[in-house]
Structure 1
Amino acid sequence: MSAPNTPDDELQASKFAYWVPNVSGGLVTSTIEQRTDWGFDYNRKLARTAEAVGFEYALSQVRYMASYGAEFQHESTSFSLGLLLATERLKVIAAVHPGMWQPGVLAKLGATADHMSGGRFAVNVVSGWFKGEFTAMGEPWLEHDERYRRSEEFITALKGIWTEEGYTLGGDFYRFRDFDLKPKPLSSPGRPHPEVFQGGNSTAARQMAGRVSDWYFSNGKDLAGIDEQIRDVRAVADPLGRRVRFGLNGFVIARDTEAEAHETLREIVAKANRPAVEGFRDAVQQAGNSTGDGKGMWADSSFEDLVQYNDGFRTNLIGTPEQIAERIVEFRRHGVDLFLCGFLHFQEEIEYFGARVLPVVRELEAAAGFAPTEFAPATAAR
């Protein structure tokens, strides 16, 4: 398969995002040293570095209580706004849970953040995998497909409030009557409202993406796995005349030699925090296996996969800069628009990625006929 995402995107080069480490413990559940800090000062510097070397997006994580190696966490929407105000071009995606948020309240926050940042606010709607958070907060825990029905209605309401006057909805989960939000978020050609991302792996998640979301985030996948997901989402979106873009999670281990990169992976897994990984596995696999067709997130994840809790090793962005760049471009040919990257030591590894990997990606994309992205690094990184 060498199909681009849509005709509009046929010659568009890859976009890059990074996981914001606003949660303690880094991006792997391991006792290996991680020179990464979950505090705001570190993250403000990191956002400015990522913006300078060519990252277009950042995704703030959301957890509400201590769990599975993540003892401390900053709230995602407020943290995202802080990063937006600390940068000039970076788009920051705040992860939120329906069930914890009322869509009218989030729509108001999003409109304000969008104005304050010059139109750079985005949201990632998380349908929820952690039952313990909901029960600890006294909120009802819905079954898997019901969570996605609620998320779809949440997104429908969010977009309606952002774009319509006197918004009215009589839904199963949310109801609005002649609701006016002013000011609306900033809009521009191709952007009538802040971008809406979602994750998920199940059939319900894929169908929801095809009907209502702007972006579909996948856990780590090989080429065959992402082909299947893109095909399924497009099968729903295309008859509706909708365009959905695709993001892929990948944990990046870029080193001067292939042997060094794979030794780092070996050490991460060897030093895994086994009780934390097993606790996370028990929580997420009950969610994944609760789907009728067994296609839920993490349903087939191994222990090693779950050491990086979004299956990031599976994407195999591990090796020399040239090897990683070649794999990124191959995924782009298969329709992946954006790469959501995690790192062991965020600050220095994002600098290395910008200096050593991204220039090779751009060279390969230019040779293949992909147009440069508008979000070029502020300075030459090579």
Structure 2
Amino acid sequence: MKLLWFIPTHGDSRYLGTSKGARAATFDYFKQVAIAADSLGFEGVLLPTGRSCEDSWVLAASLIDATRRLKFLVALRPGLVAPAQSARMAATLDRLSGGRLLVNLVTGGDAEELAGDGQFLDHGARYAQSREFIQIWRELLERSHRGEPLDFEGEHLGVRSGKLLYPPLQRPWPPIYFGGSSEAGHALAAAEVDTYLSWGEPPAAVAAKLADVRARAAALGRTLSYGVRLHVIVRETEDEAWRAAAELLSHLDPATVSAAQAKFASMDSVGQRRMAELHGGRFNPADVREGLEISPNLWAGVGLVRGGAGTALVGSAEQVAERLKEYAALGIEHFILSGYPHLEEVHRVAELLFPLLPLERPQALPGQVLTGPFGEIVANSYVPRAAAS
């Protein structure tokens, strides 16, 4: 299992749907979260895209020197930048970071937001454009290792004698992640990407999506890896975890929920529609589990006001670890996690979950030896006893 964390470039808080407990979206805060994820041993961090976020590529570049092993899963939206320029950006970031770039292809599902960025294609045309974009992007990076030019003419995009002089460090290109729940999204994933991502639906629903993508990829002679995007509310006991979930919504009012759900309903994203169907806008402040615990320990409360990933695993460390293992049993190896607020929760997740999971941890740098003592020294003399594993 490879665990990644999330950099909240659209803001962070202790409570959803309110300014109470909010954190400023500053570089210092992003850097704190990144350094914590790096030092704790997370595989990488996801940097999102969209008009509500700081730019993912600029931020990833700014965090290279602040981190040592951490990989950057940088969101890439086709159409905003030409594929050749995007390929150069990727090659540069991969080279300067020492091969730590991962790319998350994001087609987008909010027509209003896309129009504000000068993108006016409908759902099907966006996926056709995304397919041409990633084909050009991939070919330019792959050919850069041999110094070969590329000619490509598509319906939406093309290049003539396109060429990169500086190849990426990773061969043939930095790994490409992608999530899409529509038929067009599954077809794109099967044909063009390296890792298919699903939002955290109940395991049976995720299994059905993975089976469809896996079959489509096999028909093309391809094999993908798979990942899931989830929030986590983990505590030492189940009761503590559900109290934390209730606290997260404790300043949320029904009007905010209604406004958010109306906005989400206007989008043409199949994945967003599936997220909304999990909870149907139901919100009972007196019992946050009612109608929102859609599968054992899987809670749809985050999706009442948050677009995109809207589900969280809620429970004790043992319960959450067991649920993650259930997803792993479906063939999922990449787990992109987050929690509110992200700085505190990155430490909590590492402390409570890492000992219970079969993780693929980044290798220590040469000469690095982690030594004790661990914990605060007692009475200036005594090292705390090691806890039972």
How far, CA to CA, are the matches of 1:28 and 1:229 in structure 2? 32
Q: Percent identity?
A: 29
Is this contact kept in 1: 2:33–2:342, CA < 8 A? yes
User: Which residue of the partner structure matches residue 367 of structure 1?
Assistant: none
Q: 2:230 pairs with 230, 250, 274, which one?
A: 250
The 1:116–1:55 alpha-carbon spacing in structure 2 relative to 1, beyond 3 Å, is same
How far, CA to CA, are the matches of 1:175 and 1:337 in structure 2? 34
How far, CA to CA, are the matches of 2:128 and 2:113 in structure 1? 20
Does the residue aligned with 2:324 lie in a helix, a strand or coil? helix
Residue type at the aligned position of 1:48: I
Does the residue aligned with 1:210 lie in a helix, a strand or coil? helix
Deviation at 1:350, TM superposition (A): 1.0
Q: CA-to-partner distance for each residue in 1:177-221, whole Å, 9 max, x for gaps?
A: 11111101113xxx4111111122111111110100111221121
The 1:284–1:373 alpha-carbon spacing in structure 2 relative to 1, beyond 3 Å, is same
Q: CA-to-partner distance for each residue in 1:361-380, whole Å, 9 max, x for gaps?
A: 13xxxxxxxxx525267859
Deviation at 1:25, TM superposition (A): 4.3
The 1:157–1:61 alpha-carbon spacing in structure 2 relative to 1, beyond 3 Å, is same
Query: In the TM superposition, what are the counterparts of 1:152-163 in structure 2 within 5 Å?
Result: 152-163=131-142
The 1:306–1:270 alpha-carbon spacing in structure 2 relative to 1, beyond 3 Å, is same
Does the residue aligned with 1:162 lie in a helix, a strand or coil? helix
User: Which residue of the partner structure matches residue 80 of structure 1?
Assistant: 60
Is this contact kept in 2: 1:122–1:196, CA < 8 A? yes
Is this contact kept in 1: 2:42–2:361, CA < 8 A? no
Q: 2:160 pairs with 177, 184, 192, which one?
A: 177
Q: Structure 1: 5+ residue runs without aligned partners? A: 1-13, 67-72, 363-371
Residue type at the aligned position of 2:141: W
Q: CA-to-partner distance for each residue in 1:104-126, whole Å, 9 max, x for gaps?
A: 11111111111100111122111
Q: Are residues 1:309 and 2:322 paired?
A: no
The 1:57–1:160 alpha-carbon spacing in structure 2 relative to 1, beyond 3 Å, is same
Residue type at the aligned position of 1:161: L
Is this contact kept in 2: 1:163–1:193, CA < 8 A? yes
How far, CA to CA, are the matches of 1:56 and 1:353 in structure 2? 13
Residue type at the aligned position of 2:138: K
Deviation at 1:37, TM superposition (A): 4.5
How far, CA to CA, are the matches of 1:77 and 1:206 in structure 2? 26
State the aligned residue count.
Answer: 344
User: Which residue of the partner structure matches residue 264 of structure 1?
Assistant: 244
Greater RCO (Cα-Cα under 8 Å, separation 6 or more): 1
User: Which residue of the partner structure matches residue 300 of structure 1?
Assistant: 277
How far, CA to CA, are the matches of 1:112 and 1:288 in structure 2? 34
How far, CA to CA, are the matches of 2:48 and 2:253 in structure 1? 20
Q: Are residues 1:238 and 2:218 paired?
A: yes
Is this contact kept in 2: 1:18–1:342, CA < 8 A? yes
Segment of structure 1 superposing worse, 87-96 or 372-381 = 372-381
**Which structure carries more helix by proportion?**
1
Q: 1:167 pairs with 150, 156, 164, which one?
A: 150
How far, CA to CA, are the matches of 1:129 and 1:211 in structure 2? 20
User: Which residue of the partner structure matches residue 149 of structure 1?
Assistant: 128
Is this contact kept in 1: 2:11–2:25, CA < 8 A? yes
Does the residue aligned with 1:341 lie in a helix, a strand or coil? strand
* 4+ residue segments displaced more than 6 Å: none
Deviation at 1:173, TM superposition (A): 1.1
How far, CA to CA, are the matches of 1:116 and 1:213 in structure 2? 23
Q: Structure 2: 5+ residue runs without aligned partners? A: 282-300, 375-388
Residue type at the aligned position of 1:46: V
How far, CA to CA, are the matches of 2:304 and 2:166 in structure 1? 42
Is this contact kept in 1: 2:17–2:305, CA < 8 A? yes
* Max Rg structure: 2
Q: Are residues 1:63 and 2:50 paired?
A: yes
User: Which residue of the partner structure matches residue 321 of structure 2?
Assistant: 325
User: Which residue of the partner structure matches residue 196 of structure 2?
Assistant: 216
The 1:110–1:26 alpha-carbon spacing in structure 2 relative to 1, beyond 3 Å, is farther
User: Which residue of the partner structure matches residue 41 of structure 1?
Assistant: 28
Deviation at 1:296, TM superposition (A): 5.6
User: Which residue of the partner structure matches residue 349 of structure 2?
Assistant: 353
Is this contact kept in 2: 1:221–1:311, CA < 8 A? no
The 1:140–1:295 alpha-carbon spacing in structure 2 relative to 1, beyond 3 Å, is closer
Does the residue aligned with 2:267 lie in a helix, a strand or coil? helix
How far, CA to CA, are the matches of 1:288 and 1:376 in structure 2? 42
How far, CA to CA, are the matches of 1:354 and 1:120 in structure 2? 21
The 1:85–1:281 alpha-carbon spacing in structure 2 relative to 1, beyond 3 Å, is farther
